[in-house]
Amino acid sequence: MSVNRREFLGGTVACGLALPPFLKRAAAAAPKADQPGGDETVLVVVQLSGGNDGLNTVVPFADPEYRRQRPKLGLRTDDLLKVDEELGLHPALQGFADLLEQTRLSIVQGVGYPNATRSHFESMDVWHRATPDETEKFGWLGRARARLGGNGAVYVGGNDSPLALFNATGNPLTVQSLAEHQLPLTGERGRRVRAALDELVADGTPGGHELLEIARSASKSMLDAEKRFRRASETSRSASAWPNSGLAKRLEVIAQLLRADSPERIFYTSLDGFDTHSGQAPAHERLLREVAEAIAAFQRDLESQGQHRRVLILTFSEFGRRVKENGSEGTDHGAASQMFLVGEGLRGGPIGDHPSLTDLDQGDLKFHTDFRSVYQTILEDWLRAPGRDVLLGDFPKVELFSA
Partner 1 sequence: MNDEKTLFGLDPETAWQPLFPTPSTWNAAKLAHLHRRAEFGASRARLEETSFVPPAELVASIVEGREDRRYEEDVDRLRETALARSDIRSLQALWIYRMMHSPHPLRERMTLFWHDHFATSHAKVGNYRLMQRQNELLRRHALGHFGEMLQEITRDPAMLIWLDSHTNRVGHANENYAREIFELFGLGVGHYTEADILEAARAFTGWDVHDGEPRFQPQFFDAGEKTILGRTGPWGAGDVVRIVLEQPACGRFLVRKLFAEFVSETIEPGEDVLEPLVEGFRVRNYDIAWLMQTMLGSWTFFSDEAMRHRVKSPVEFVLGAVRELDGPAGPLRLAELCERMGQSLFRPPSVKGWDGGGNWLNSRTMLVRQQTMIELTRGRGLGQRTDPARLVSSRGESGDVGLAETFLDLMLQRPDHPARDRIAALLGEERRRVQRGFASASSVDGELARTAAQLVAALPDYQLA
Residues that bind partner 1 (CB under 8 A): 170-171, 173-174, 181, 183-185, 188-189, 192-193, 196-197, 199-201, 203-205, 209-212, 214-216, 218-219, 221-222, 224-226
Alpha-carbon span 10 to 28, nearest angstrom: 8
- The nearer residue to partner 1, 184 or 327, going by C-beta atoms, is 184
Minimum distance from CB of 337 to partner 1 (Å)? 32
Alpha-carbon span 11 to 90, nearest angstrom: 43
Minimum distance from CB of 180 to partner 1 (Å)? 9
Minimum distance from CB of 367 to partner 1 (Å)? 35
- The nearer residue to partner 1, 124 or 173, going by C-beta atoms, is 173
Rounded alpha-carbon distances, angstroms, from residue 295 to 56, 60, 392: 19, 23, 31
- For the packed helices 280-305 and 94-101, what is the interaxial angle rounded to 10 degrees? 40
- The nearer residue to partner 1, 13 or 183, going by C-beta atoms, is 183
User: Which residues share a beta bridge with 342?
Assistant: 105, 313
Minimum distance from CB of 125 to partner 1 (Å)? 17
DSSP string of 121-154? HHHHHHHHHTSS-TT--S-HHHHHHHTTTT--EE
- The nearer residue to partner 1, 3 or 196, going by C-beta atoms, is 196
Nearest to 251 by CA among 288, 305, 287, 299: 299
Minimum distance from CB of 198 to partner 1 (Å)? 9
Alpha-carbon span 46 to 221, nearest angstrom: 27
Minimum distance from CB of 152 to partner 1 (Å)? 9
Query: From the CB of residue 32, how many other CB atoms can be counted at a distance below 10 Å?
Result: 17
Alpha-carbon span 51 to 123, nearest angstrom: 10
Minimum distance from CB of 15 to partner 1 (Å)? 38
Alpha-carbon span 180 to 395, nearest angstrom: 41
DSSP string of 24-92? HHHHHHGGGTTSS--TT-EEEEEEEET---GGGTEEETT-HHHHHH-TTTPPPGGGSEESSSSEEE-GG
- The nearer residue to partner 1, 208 or 282, going by C-beta atoms, is 208
Alpha-carbon span 276 to 62, nearest angstrom: 24
- The nearer residue to partner 1, 78 or 188, going by C-beta atoms, is 188
Nearest to 144 by CA among 386, 330, 367, 373: 386
- The nearer residue to partner 1, 13 or 185, going by C-beta atoms, is 185
Minimum distance from CB of 267 to partner 1 (Å)? 16
- The nearer residue to partner 1, 28 or 201, going by C-beta atoms, is 201
